[in-house]
A and B are shown apart, each in its own frame.
Chain A
């Protein structure tokens, strides 16, 4: 049972373009939605996160858009750069004992220079 569904599996974007990755969740009790970035051979690192009380959060070139009624959230990378080439994971958790994250399957992003 996949509680967080992520798409696309892979994405190729030209340098300077916009990368968009989408996620959908099932459990309405989730109240924390982070995006993690992972480079080859490294562990995931938190990129940006949002809570459902806001519809959008922006940090530099990275923006999360959140649609509570549709149970969907997305990551937008503006002015994509070759250094952004990595695997991106969305995740979700509920504020309870343990802060347990449920991850999407991941999106491999390649930014062509």
Chain B
């Protein structure tokens, strides 16, 4: 099992450009999450999904959109990137409501110039 994978690993964007980050999990987990990690601020939840076709806002959703068309994939989109979105993005998954353990991917380092 690969667990949780993220693509790409690194990306540099110019202000105003758009991009999509892909998260995939092969553990048949129902719940999936997108976090951003910034120095001195820990991880903050952007959006999450409790099942295929569902999405919900987290703590810092502005400027991001998500889609969960397939159970194993969770996409994070930036429609018009801003320098404030420079961060490391982590995807995580959790089996379902019966367990709390979240498994994290290796992260995507995004720089917006």
Contacts and interface: CB of A to CB of B under 8 A. Distances in A.
Q: A and B: partners?
A: yes
Interface of A: 4, 6, 9, 32, 34, 36, 41-46, 49, 89, 93, 95, 97-106
Interface residues of B, number: 26
15 contacts: A9-B40, A34-B101, A36-B104, A43-B104, A43-B106, A46-B102, A95-B97, A97-B50, A99-B94, A99-B100, A99-B102, A100-B33, A101-B33, A103-B44, A106-B42
Contacts of A4: 42
A53 B13 CA distance: 47
Contact of B43 (A9, A41, A44): A44
Given A44-B43, A106-B42, A34 B100 contact: yes
B58 interface: yes
